[in-house]
Amino acid sequence: MIKGVLFDLDDTLYDSSSFADRARREAIKMMIDAGLNATEEEAYNILQRIIKQKGSNYNRHFDDLVKAIMGHYEPKIITMGIITYHNVKFALLRPYPDTIKTLIALKKMGLKLGVITDGITIKQWEKLIRLGIVDFFDEVVTSEEFGLGKPNIEFFEYGIKKMGLNPDEAVYVGDRVDRDIIPANKVGMCAIRILKGKYKDVEGGECAYEVNNLLEVVGIVKNLKG
Amino acid sequence: MIKGVLFDLDDTLYDSSSFADRARREAIKMMIDAGLNATEEEAYNILQRIIKQKGSNYNRHFDDLVKAIMGHYEPKIITMGIITYHNVKFALLRPYPDTIKTLIALKKMGLKLGVITDGITIKQWEKLIRLGIVDFFDEVVTSEEFGLGKPNIEFFEYGIKKMGLNPDEAVYVGDRVDRDIIPANKVGMCAIRILKGKYKDVEGGECAYEVNNLLEVVGIVKNLKG
């Protein structure tokens, strides 16, 4: 008997990777205007390499970019990049067109809803608040709060327990095979993969359900509830 | 022969303390709406005490406030506070009405201009950029960058040297007797105290020049230049 649905956040409930990418491109243009001595493509490629090396939660991407290109620290250029990145990201931030419809439909079915997300607690809550969807969720758990992130199955078990559910009573929805679908299945949840974001073309045959849009989750959960 | 003017930033070039205070009050109202179990005055007084204890550059004021009132961590309430605080602070941020006039007049006199400020480098540059005054300054030095803040005279010496000036060629403008005026005088600069912000009523007889508005600095510097 399905009693709840747990969601990943970034790229599952809203478009994270393409907005971040557009914000980074705008930031680079502004940094070049402020004196960064590179072409857009050069700077973009270096930035991508830094993000890959240091992870997306590292908070000195632009510092490293300026050092890599200029050979020294240039606070004005770095700050122009950071301000522009945040301004553009906030300007673009919105749920997928069917996110709120999906959450309403699931709530109407009497289901508990939750979020299990990697990231800094305040940053992830900020996204939920700015997206206008925070009040749909009974529980939100973050890797920072738990001390261990995906794909550790203990993190998923912690989230399910906080919801007051057993694994077989919960459906998990996420975009990544390696960090969402596989560990959710290991824990004993039914998992639905949403084909969005930068990992949408990654191969992975383990997932029983794949959807192109969030609203399809409603039909699957209805069938699972029986 | 006066060749340059160095400024403190917060409460000297723009109204920092009253804007921060208004932003904190709005943040508290929003946190109470989100479930913070206190009156505005109670929460405000606790927050003031936390800021006094931990300093204004501590980045967990709202975390501590929520823990002090609720007894535990509540990410939704904390995040509502942080978002509101930053939104209101950015909405109110602007130079004093005579800041840009003053900077233009000093530039027209052929003077070098600089900033010597305590604080996190990127945050202080962000203020200069958002205030629209960054391009007036030949040099900006921060305590984070130097590794030592006010009232250490080494920090002032570092700033003067970076401007390519001798102490007797520079005028310093700041709002605090203890952290601006006294160390600037010790280093050998002429210092002008601006009576603005939360320290404007602090007694201190050491200062040769006191002004109520920034524009008065122009006349004093003219006389000093001779």
Q: What is the ipTM of this complex?
A: 0.78
B130 CB within 8 Å of a chain A CB:
yes
Which one has a higher pLDDT value, B7 or A203?
B7
Give the mean pLDDT of A171-193.
95
Chain mean position to CA A46 = 23
Using one digit for the tens of pLDDT, what is the confidence trace for A30-50?
A: 999 999 999 999 999 999 999
CA-closest candidate to residue B162, choices B11, B4, B2: B4
User: Distance, in angstroms, between A145 CA and closest chain B CA?
Assistant: 10
Integer Cα distance of A169 and A190 in angstroms:
9
Total number of residues shown for chain A: 226
CA-closest candidate to residue B77, choices B67, B91, B87, B89: B67
With a CB cutoff of 8 Å and minimum separation 6, the contacts of A193 are A174, A175, A177, A180, A181, A204, A207, A209, A210, A211
Q: Is A141 helix (H, G, I), strand (E, B) or coil?
A: strand
- Nearest neighbour of A76 by CB, restricted to B79, B125, B145: B125
Residue in the block written with tokens 């560990």? A183
Residue B110 burial (10 A CB sphere; 0-12, 13-18, 19+): exposed
Model pLDDT, residue B132: 94
Q: Are B6 and B189 contacting, i.e. CB atoms less than 8 angstroms apart? A: yes
| Phi, psi at A91, each rounded to 5° | -65, -35
Both tokens assigned to B7? 């400024």
Would the pLDDT of A207 be above 80? no
Integer Cα distance of B7 and B102 in angstroms:
12
Q: Are A144 and A121 contacting, i.e. CB atoms less than 8 angstroms apart? A: yes
Would the pLDDT of B105 be above 80? yes
User: Distance, in angstroms, between B206 CA and closest chain A CA?
Assistant: 34
Record: contact A129-B82, CB cut-off 8 A: no
B207 CB within 8 Å of a chain A CB:
no
- CATH placement of domain B4-15+94-225: 3.40.50.1000
Model pLDDT, residue A202: 86
Q: Give chain B's mean pLDDT.
A: 94
Integer Cα distance of A194 and A210 in angstroms:
6
A91 CB within 8 Å of a chain B CB:
no
B80 CB within 8 Å of a chain A CB:
yes
Please tell me which residue of chain A has the smallest CA distance to B78: A122
Would the pLDDT of B204 be above 90? no
User: Can you give the C-alpha Rg of chain A in angstroms?
Assistant: 19
With a CB cutoff of 8 Å and minimum separation 6, the contacts of B21 are none
Model pLDDT, residue A59: 84
| Phi, psi at B197, each rounded to 5° | 75, -170
Q: Which residues of A touch B122 (CB under 8 A)?
A: 75, 78-79, 82
Please tell me which residue of chain A has the smallest CA distance to B63: A122
- A55-62 CB contacts, 8 Å cutoff, 24+ apart: A56/A20, A57/A119, A57/A120, A62/A27, A62/A31
Domain ranges within chain A, ordered by starting residue: 4-15+94-225, 17-92
Asked whether the CA dihedral B102, B105, B109, B111 is positive or negative, the reply is positive
- Nearest neighbour of A122 by CB, restricted to B79, B126, B130: B79
Please tell me which residue of chain A has the smallest CA distance to B60: A122
- Nearest neighbour of A78 by CB, restricted to B75, B83, B122: B122
B75 CB within 8 Å of a chain A CB:
yes
Record: contact A129-B83, CB cut-off 8 A: yes
Model pLDDT, residue B107: 96
Q: Which residues of B touch A76 (CB under 8 A)?
A: 125, 129, 134, 140
Integer Cα distance of A69 and A158 in angstroms:
43
Amino acid at A61: H
User: Distance, in angstroms, between A210 CA and closest chain B CA?
Assistant: 31
Would the pLDDT of B103 be above 80? yes
Q: Are A114 and A136 contacting, i.e. CB atoms less than 8 angstroms apart? A: no
Using one digit for the tens of pLDDT, what is the confidence trace for A67-116?
A: 999 999 999 999 999 999 999 998 999 999 999 999 999 999 999 999 99
Q: What is the 3-state secondary structure (H, E, C) of A172-189?
A: EEECCHHHHHHHHHHHCC
- Nearest neighbour of A75 by CB, restricted to B78, B80, B121: B121
Phi-psi region of B95 (alpha: psi -120 to 50; beta: other; left: phi over 0): beta
Class for domain A17-92, per CATH?
mainly alpha
B78 CB within 8 Å of a chain A CB:
yes
CA count, 13 A, side-chain hemisphere, B91: 9
Q: Which residues of B touch A121 (CB under 8 A)?
A: 75
- B84-87 CB contacts, 8 Å cutoff, 24+ apart: B84/B23, B84/B26, B84/B27, B84/B29, B84/B30, B84/B31, B85/B23, B85/B24, B85/B26, B85/B27, B86/B23
pLDDT confidence tier of residue B42, bands split at 50, 70 and 90: very high
Record: contact A76-B145, CB cut-off 8 A: no
Integer Cα distance of A9 and B193 in angstroms:
51
Using one digit for the tens of pLDDT, what is the confidence trace for B115-138?
A: 999 999 999 999 999 999 999 999
Record: contact A82-B126, CB cut-off 8 A: yes
